Amino acid sequence: MQVSRDLLAVAEKCEMSKVARLTDDAKKVCLRCGSCLAVCPVYKKKLVEMVAPRGKMALAEALASGEIDAEHDVASYLSQCLVCTACMDECPNELDFDARMIAGRSALKTKKANNLPFFALFRTVLQTRSLMNLAAFLGRAFHRLFFFKVPSESGMHLRFPIMVPRDRLLPKIAPRPFLSSAAARSRSTPEHAPQIRSVAYFVGCMANYSCTEVPLHLLRLASSKDVSLFVPLKQKCCGMPAIISGDLVSARRLAKHNIKVLLQTGAEMIVTTCGSCGSAIKHYYPILFRDDPQMLASAQTIAGRIIDVSELLVDVLGRTKFSVNRDLLEQLGLDPAKPVKVTYHEPCHLGRRMNVVAQPREILNNISGVQFVPMQDENVCCGCGGLFSVHHYDVSRAIAVDKARNILATGADIVATGCPACVMQIADGLAHIGRNIPVVHTIELISME
């Protein structure tokens, strides 16, 4: 028994050190200056040192050095992080906090029992599209048993508290995954023509199984003589849930698959409509393979081609004026003939990891019939953070409610954002303050007419 424990400890430390080698700042240390405290959404709610970035950094370093072992409450503390990376913007020593947090979670991934179902999910369902499709089909087929609709809100609540509370607003499941649709199949290969730039579309799970109106709308918007937008049908989950949770085995499997699929397309650019997916491929894929020179080269090639849809419209296609999507306004019960107020939430992964800040605002400022109204703390995390919102829903909800109140203060009719997970989280926050303000993806607001 002792031998088994020793082997497990060695394996955990090896995994920890392996991830540490993937960072550029392995020799840098946290100065414990406290600059991070002012921007950490979780610390602001808990006011406990061990959930502050510097506190979690101290725990991760102590774990790596052997000063403490995994039997302490390390797993609980390290799970209380959104990995929003706001602390990294304030850190005077420019620490790669996100990589170190992932390293700590990787070393502890088997130690927290309530993580086991999720890691089993990462190793099986997330790796296989047919299983993902089956899960979505069953969820929709039995939605009357497990869910009930909320008439005044665009979502559903669980009938039974299975992993998440009953009062959490969950997104609807689409009748058919986008990647299985006729629209996706009809655009599965690029059009080869002179002076036409090929653009592969990485869809992402939320857009594939829930927010299917986003990819469908993109296909309509990208009908252009300047680009050939196509959908690689063999793509899988980007792996962000596994990456952030520290399941690097699952993350690398998904990354290798997607890199292979995307390289085979030969696309000049790869566009995403999800800040998390874009961040996974652009920022984390190269980090995952920095110990593997061959895969690193491929990951860097793909990372260099990743752009957000707002970059495609503004920087690549050079669009400067947009018409409002009148059909969307009518669906939302708004009068297309009257100006509509729109505010914007900047997703953490889109703004901080992909450095896409100006383009979404450029779009919103140039839609005819739309008055763009910035909100307070528009780039502060909405509180989703992947499994954080499952394990720590009370804090996640409180952060989302703060965001909802900032939205309410703008007087906006619609909230726009660039990440489907943020759409879900913000809608939940608004529901908890009793307001049904629609939350949409930024590109849903525009028409190329």
pLDDT digits (tens, 9 = 90+) for 25-59: 556 778 889 999 999 999 999 999 999 999 988 88
Q: Supply 383's token pair.
A: 């509180």
Question: Position of tokens 């509370």?
Answer: 165
Q: Is residue 52 part of a domain?
A: yes
Q: Are residues 9 and 25 in the same domain?
A: yes
Q: Which residue has the higher pLDDT, 13 or 173?
A: 173
Q: Is residue 388 part of a domain?
A: yes
Q: Which residue has the higher pLDDT, 50 or 162?
A: 50
Q: Supply 110's token pair.
A: 């088997």
Q: What are residue 297's DSSP bridge partners?
A: none
398 vs 157: CA distance, rounded Å? 18
CA 173 to chain centre: 18
Report the CATH number at residue 106: 1.10.1060
pLDDT digits (tens, 9 = 90+) for 175-206: 899 999 999 998 988 877 767 889 999 999 99
pTM of the model: 0.89
Q: Are residues 326 and 411 in the same domain?
A: yes
The pLDDT mean for the chain works out to: 85
Which pLDDT does position 148 carry in this prediction? 46
Q: Are residues 298 and 348 in the same domain?
A: no
Q: Are residues 325 and 293 in the same domain?
A: no
Sheet holding 322-324, edge to edge: 367-368, 322-324, 446-447
* Nearest C-alpha neighbor of 147 from the set 161, 137, 159: 159
Confidence class for position 285, pLDDT limits 50, 70, 90: very high
Q: Are residues 296 and 326 in the same domain?
A: no
Domain count, the chain: 3
Q: Are residues 184 and 287 in the same domain?
A: yes
Query: Of the given ranges (179-183, 276-280, 293-297, 388-392), which has the lowest mean pLDDT?
Result: 388-392
- Helical segments of 306-385, H only: 309-311, 326-331, 348, 358-364
Single-letter amino acid code for the residue at 324: V
Report the CATH number at residue 261: 3.40.50
Highest-scoring range by mean pLDDT, 64-78, 343-357, 387-401 = 343-357
CA end-to-end span of the chain? 69
Which pLDDT does position 81 carry in this prediction? 93
Which pLDDT does position 121 carry in this prediction? 79
278 and 204 in contact (C-beta within 8 Å)?
no
Percent of the chain having pLDDT more than 70?
82
Domain boundary among 312, 344, 374: 312
Average pLDDT over residues 385-402: 92
Q: Are residues 275 and 388 in the same domain?
A: no
Which pLDDT does position 153 carry in this prediction? 47
Confidence class for position 342, pLDDT limits 50, 70, 90: very high
409 vs 265: CA distance, rounded Å? 46
Which pLDDT does position 165 carry in this prediction? 62
Q: Is residue 156 part of a domain?
A: no
Which pLDDT does position 422 carry in this prediction? 96
pLDDT digits (tens, 9 = 90+) for 369-385: 999 999 999 999 999 99
Single-letter amino acid code for the residue at 228: S
CA–CA–CA angle 136, 211, 222 (5° rounding): 130
Q: Supply 381's token pair.
A: 């995390």
